[in-house]
Structure 1
Amino acid sequence: MKIILLGYMGVGKSTLGNALAKELEINFIDLDAYIEQKEGKSISDLFVNKAEISFRKKETNYLKQILNHESSFVLSLGGGTPCYANNMELINKYSKNTFYLKASFQFLSKRLYNEKNVRPLLQHLKHLDEFEDFIRKHLFERQNYYFLANFTINVETQSIENNITQILNQLN
């Protein structure tokens, strides 16, 4: 069983994925952490030193490695992973258990504003208005990819336990 969680940064993919994997007693893989471990550098460093397009190519290669594993797992993707190359097509080829963890831009803006200095795509945003506009536009651009997931879970109105129950009820 391969369960894949996707959605915008800060939506809780890693937190929910880790809890879900424990519930199912299977491996949890955070794609960003996997890349950092393989590359020996932080995602921020990979973005700064090599530019985003170079990072996205590496990300796709590591995604393919993980998807080709025979074992069961819960995989938490980076927020941009589904939006590059043919990643979403690849993801849906390997799993029918893909979940878009959905939240509004207001919810995400509140959650991410204090973390902006450790998020490579947000570090340049200085003012709250500018930050909210960026999140709104970026989320709008990415949602078409996110909606290609097999299921959508609205995470901002439920507890982690309720989100896990909802996912468990949808598993194929």
Structure 2
Amino acid sequence: MKIKKRPVLLIGFMGAGKSTVGQALSKRNQCSFIDLDQYISKCEKRTIPEIFEQDGELGFRLYEFQYLKQALKNYDIIATGGGIISFDQTFNFLKTVDADIIWLDAPFPDLYQRIKNDSNRPNVKSKDARAVKHLYSSRLSRYNEIAFIKITTKETLTQTLSEIENVLFANDQY
């Protein structure tokens, strides 16, 4: 069963809960889900840090764009990586895609606590809180520009899911 007639894309900074929310949302609504970073890693047979190390961030962003287009054809809910909006080609594509784009966010201190010790995040590795906050701040306007709605993940998972479902299904009754 599809959650809606078009895919739901979850965007937002690292640690916002895109994967957790996406998995739970798909389970509650009996629809398909993919974590784009995991999909890239599986298809390329390398971890995200390995791709960054071997191909650079640009190489990773090219894979991300390629696999996003595939995922949109095959999945109902897609959790994207935090930097998906940083590559102009992908960002411009997202402006035109027929999907509900939901920006998940939380206060920066919460995000930083969730990601600061995660070795699978190449854009955080060996950066202090100030540098990570600068990266976060540099992405805000792009998240805002393409998002259908912004939802906070500061509250419980159940509250976050309810808020998303209320937005997604608000017009279905008419």
Fold shared, TM-score > 0.5 on shorter chain? yes
8 Å CA contact 2:34–2:75 kept in 1: the answer is no
SS in 2 for 1:167: helix
Query: In the superposition, relative to structure 1, how do residues 35 and 72 fare at CA in structure 2: closer, same or farther (>3 Å)?
Result: closer
Match of 2:94, SS state, is helix
Distance 1:169 1:89, change over 3 A: farther
Q: Distance in 1 between matches of 2:113 and 2:25?
A: 25
How far has the Cα of 1:87 moved from its partner?
Answer: 2.0
Query: Do 1:60 and 1:85's aligned partners in 2 also have CA atoms closer than 8 Å?
Result: no
3-state secondary structure, aligned to 2:123: coil
Alignment partners' CA distance in 1, 2:148 and 2:90: 14
> Which whole-Å deviations, capped at 9, do the CAs of 1:123-166 have from their partners, x for residues lacking one?
223xxxxx11012101110011111201000111x111111111
Q: Is the 8 A contact 1:105 1:132 kept in 2?
A: no
User: Which of 157, 161, 171 matches 1:160?
Assistant: 157
SS, match of residue 18 in structure 1: helix
- Write the distance in 2 (CA, Å) between the matches of 1:169 and 1:91: 23
SS of residue paired to 1:26: coil
Number of equivalences: 163
- The aligned residue for residue 33 of structure 1 is 38
Deviation at 1:167, TM superposition (A): 0.6
Unaligned runs of 5+ in 2: 1-5
Are residues 1:132 and 2:129 paired? yes
Which runs of structure 1 show a deviation greater than 4 angstroms over 4 or more consecutive aligned residues? none
Q: Distance in 2 between matches of 1:57 and 1:86?
A: 9
Partner of 1:81: 84
Q: Which amino acid aligns with 2:96?
A: K
> Which one of 161, 164, 167 corresponds to residue 170 of structure 1?
167
Q: Which residue does 1:150 correspond to in 2?
A: 148
Residue number in structure 1 paired with 2:50: 45
8 A Cα contact 1:3 1:95, kept in partner: no
User: Residues 92 and 27 (structure 1 numbering): CA distance in 2 closer, same or farther, change over 3 Å?
Assistant: farther
Structure 1 unmatched ranges of 5 or more: 126-130
Cα distance, 1:82–1:55 mapped onto 2, change above 3 Å: same
Shifted more, 43-52 versus 90-99: the winner is: 90-99
The 8 Å contact of residues 10 and 112 in structure 1, kept in 2 or not, is answered as: yes
- Determine what percentage of the aligned residue pairs are the same residue: 31
Q: Structure 1 length normalisation: TM-score?
A: 0.88
- Looking at structure 2, the residues matched to 169 and 72 of structure 1 have their Cα atoms a distance apart, in angstroms, of 21
Q: Is the Cα contact below 8 Å between 1:105 and 1:135 reproduced in 2? A: no
Match of 1:120 in 2: 122
* Structure 1 match to 2:3: none
